[in-house]
């Protein structure tokens, strides 16, 4: 039952694993420049690299615009407002002026054939002599967004309210397995309407765990687990994988870098511990969760580039939110797309956000062989209201496939719910010092609840959800299920289990301070949580019993 230590959102550098990009540019060596030279230098690419470049060609529109802006910057040309915004975003991300100019020089010197292979025709011929601004982007926007949404590895899923617990099938086609990137966009049926195309203003920043402003839904998203379908074909006996999560609603963004997952073999499921990706209100644009997976080779110690990518992606997204580039794409694309194809507003915004994120992600994936792949989950704003409530989270899967590059192929699962997140707590029995635990970290309905020594497992953490009038529900962080008296029994020694939350009295509890911990009283029976026989062993069963003022019926409550 042992698991990894808790994870907090990544801020700043990763100790011992690299450092923040500063005015001197990328650490160690400029792998981005090397990757650009490989793709644009005119040489023959590996089958894997060619598939990734050509398969994502429609997403590279803004990449070409950025590279040409870099070339114009390097030649001291007068930049358009859009070009200046892109350059400034990269500078704020820590990439030096010399590096920006070098990226532009590589683009300028690339052959027409190499550019045509990597970029859409409308931008493949850009030169430093010609600027590219808002007017050009609005002109091209319908094609940019439509082409991204039409990619075979982008899946548009509709889920009506009440159906959100059924996760969509991942984009898992032959076209998606070789390109290193795929996406699932979730919306609700009939979301498109004339009113939907009045682009809403970005919401003000919201502090994590704070109550959402009126009219906004509080959403919690967390990484649940991944299943390794194929391991890498490299010589190392076991794969070591690490994950970068970047989540944004264009008003706020978070980045999370969990610990490396070691000893990953085909056929295994590995769970994340406390990897909370988002826990706040969501702006009207909707929510994008992007995950990159990397293979850590022996002695690699996490390339500093991976840490740099996280900060660059966050800074770049923050720099562009609500500004020229995104607004030009949205306002230029929305009406033609609605008339021609019936796309709703939120998938349009998702495509725009993915196009912007492609600038950083493309540079990284072209530059680093141990990059397994990327998957993006895009939640349309209306689709967020179809998420399951606290205690009945919705589940979504995406395939990240690096097998064409000799890397792993994994199936990632994330979960999301809406409503108040409650306090995250653990309950420690006063008599034994052991923790209230779902046995075996089970996800099953009716799984037993016992006591176990503390190991920071999600199955030992609970969300304390205030139901009003001094009544609480206790929802397990691992399973999302509620602490329940089995069968609604009112008898002494009735078993305590987890069960999908149904808002019933046998799932509701009152907390009463005894001065030596709390007694946890079931609303239906009036009995208290009790460690059977006052035992102190791991695995001792937890039951309900008439209160007798003994320490095995008292629990300390600690925030996590």
Amino acid 299: pLDDT: 42
The residue among 418 and 21 whose pLDDT is bigger is 418
* CA 345 – CA 285 distance, rounded (Å): 9
Q: Regarding predicted confidence, which is higher, 85 or 83?
A: 83
With the C-alpha atoms ordered 473, 474, 478, 481, is the resulting torsion angle positive or negative?
negative
pLDDT band at 97 (very low <50, low <70, confident <90, very high): very high
Q: Which residue has the higher pLDDT, 346 or 149?
A: 149
Mean pLDDT value of segment 444-452: 95
E runs forming strands in 189-275 = 218-230, 239-248, 253-256, 261-264, 269-271
Higher confidence at residue 127 or residue 352? 127
Place of tokens 């529900």: 473
**Banded pLDDT at 230 (limits 50, 70, 90):** confident
Per-residue confidence (pLDDT) for residue 405, from 0 to 100: 62
Say which range, 33-42, 203-212, 379-388, 504-513, has the weakest mean pLDDT.
203-212
Most confident of 99-113, 322-336, 412-426: 99-113
In 3D space, the residue among 270, 211, 223 whose CA is nearest the CA of residue 7 turns out to be 223
Percent pLDDT > 90 in the chain is 27
Q: Express each pLDDT in 510-552 by its tens digit.
A: 999 999 999 999 999 999 999 999 999 999 999 999 999 999 9
Q: Which two tokens stand for residue 187?
A: 């919306």
Residue 316 pLDDT exceeds 50? no
> Using one digit for the tens of pLDDT, what is the confidence trace for 179-203?
667 777 666 554 433 333 333 333 3
As a whole number of angstroms, the distance between CA 318 and CA 205 comes to: 11
Query: 490: exposed, middle or buried (C-beta count within 10 Å: 0-12, 13-18, 19+)?
Result: middle
Among the ranges given (262-266, 426-430, 443-447, 452-456), the one the predictor scored with the smallest mean pLDDT: 262-266
Distances (CA, A) of 258 to 7, 183, 239, 393, 486: 6, 21, 16, 21, 35
Third-level CATH fold of 423-559: Trefoil (Acidic Fibroblast Growth Factor, subunit A) (2.80.10)
Higher pLDDT, 42 or 270: 270
Reading phi first (left if > 0) and then psi (alpha if -120 to 50, else beta), residue 263 is in: left
Give the pLDDT confidence score for residue 195 in this predicted structure: 31
Q: Which of 302, 506, 293, 316 is nearest to 401 (CA)?
A: 293
Choice among 375-389, 469-483, 527-541 with the minimum mean pLDDT: 375-389
Closest CA to 375 of 236, 231, 157, 179: 179
Does the pLDDT at position 89 exceed 90? Answer: no
What does the pLDDT average to over 78-90?
85
Q: Given this model, what pLDDT does residue 460 score?
A: 94
Length of the chain measured in residues: 560
Label residue 289 by pLDDT band (50, 70, 90): confident
pLDDT for 14? 25
| Per-residue pLDDT at 367 exceeds 50 | yes
**202 vs 79, which has greater pLDDT?**
79
Instruction: Give the residue from 344, 372, 431 showing the smallest Cα distance to 179.
Output: 372
Reply yes or no on whether the pLDDT at 16 is more than 70: no
DSSP 58-109: GGGHHHHHHHHHHHHHHTTPPPPHHHHHHHHHHHHTT--HHHHHHHHHHHHH
Asked if residue 366 has pLDDT above 80, the reply is no
As a whole number of angstroms, the distance between CA 99 and CA 92 comes to: 13
* Burial grade of 538 (CB within 10 A; 0-12, 13-18, 19 or more): middle
286 against 493, higher pLDDT: 493
- pLDDT for residue 72 is more than 90: yes
Domain ranges, ordered by start, for the chain: 31-187+226-418, 423-559
Q: Which of 1-10, 35-44, 346-355, 456-465 has the highest mean pLDDT?
A: 456-465
Gap between the Cα atoms of 8 and 276, Å rounded: 8
Distance CA 560, CA 462 (A): 9
Looking at 21-35, 69-83, 130-144, 469-483, which range is the least confident one? 21-35
Whole-number Å distance between alpha carbons of 286 and 379: 6
Structure-model confidence comparison of residues 394 and 527, the more confident one = 527
Residue 434 burial (10 A CB sphere; 0-12, 13-18, 19+): buried
């Amino acid at each position: 039952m042992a698991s990894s230590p808790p994870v907090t959102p990544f801020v700043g550098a990763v100790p011992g694993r690299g450092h923040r990009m500063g005015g001197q540019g990328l650490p160690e060596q400029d792998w981005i420049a090397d990757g650009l030279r490989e793709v644009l230098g005119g040489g023959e690419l590996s089958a894997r690299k060619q598939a990734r470049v050509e398969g994502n060609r429609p997403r590279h529109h803004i990449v070409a615009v950025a590279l040409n802006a870099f070339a114009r910057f390097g030649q001291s040309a007068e930049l358009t407002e859009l070009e200046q915004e892109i350059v400034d975003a990269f500078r704020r991300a820590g990439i030096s002026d010399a590096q920006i100019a070098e990226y532009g020089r590589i683009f300028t010197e690339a052959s027409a054939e190499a550019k045509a292979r990597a970029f859409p025709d409308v931008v493949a011929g850009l030169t430093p002599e010609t600027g590219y601004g808002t007017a050009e982007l609005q002109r091209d926007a319908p094609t940019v967004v439509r082409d991204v949404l039409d990619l075979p590895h982008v899946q548009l899923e509709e889920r009506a309210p009440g159906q959100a617990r059924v996760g969509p099938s991942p984009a898992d086609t032959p076209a998606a397995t070789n390109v290193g990137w795929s996406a699932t966009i979730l919306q609700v049926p009939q979301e498109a309407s004339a009113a939907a195309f009045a682009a809403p203003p970005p919401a003000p920043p919201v502090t994590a765990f704070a109550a959402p402003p009126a009219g906004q839904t509080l959403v919690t998203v967390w990484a649940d687990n991944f299943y390794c379908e194929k391991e890498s074909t490299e010589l190392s006996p076991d794969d070591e994988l690490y994950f970068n999560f970047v989540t944004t609603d264009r008003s706020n963004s978070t980045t999370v870098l969990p610990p490396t997952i070691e000893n990953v073999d085909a056929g295994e499921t590995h769970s994340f511990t406390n990897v909370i990706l988002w826990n706040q209100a969501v702006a009207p644009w909707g929510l994008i969760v992007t995950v990159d997976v990397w293979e850590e080779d022996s002695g690699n110690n996490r390339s500093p580039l991976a840490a740099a990518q996280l900060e660059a992606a966050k800074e770049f997204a923050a720099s562009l939110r609500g500004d020229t580039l995104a607004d030009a794409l949205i306002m230029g694309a929305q009406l033609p797309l609605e008339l021609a194809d019936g796309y709703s507003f939120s998938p349009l915004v998702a495509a725009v956000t993915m196009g912007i994120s492609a600038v950083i992600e493309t540079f990284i994936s072209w530059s680093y062989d141990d990059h397994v792949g990327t998957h993006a989950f895009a939640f349309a704003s209306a689709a967020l209201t179809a998420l399951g409530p606290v205690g009945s989270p919705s589940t979504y899967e995406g395939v990240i496939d690096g097998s064409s590059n000799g890397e792993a192929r994994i199936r990632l699962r994330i979960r999301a719910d809406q409503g108040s997140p409650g306090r995250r707590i653990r309950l420690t029995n006063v008599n034994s010092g052991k923790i209230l635990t779902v046995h075996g970290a089970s996800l099953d309905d009716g799984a037993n609840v016992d006591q176990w020594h503390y190991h920071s497992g999600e199955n030992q953490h609970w969300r304390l959800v205030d139901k009003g009038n001094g009544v609480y529900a206790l929802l397990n962080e691992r399973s999302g299920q509620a602490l329940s008296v089995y069968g609604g029994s009112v008898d002494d020694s009735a078993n305590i289990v987890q069960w999908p939350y149904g808002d019933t009295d046998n799932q509701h509890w009152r907390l009463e301070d005894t001065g030596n911990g709390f007694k946890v009283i079931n609303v239906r029976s009036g009995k208290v949580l009790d460690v059977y026989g006052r035992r102190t062993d791991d695995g001792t069963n937890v039951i309900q019993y008439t209160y007798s003022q003994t320490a095995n019926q008292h629990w300390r409550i600690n925030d996590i």
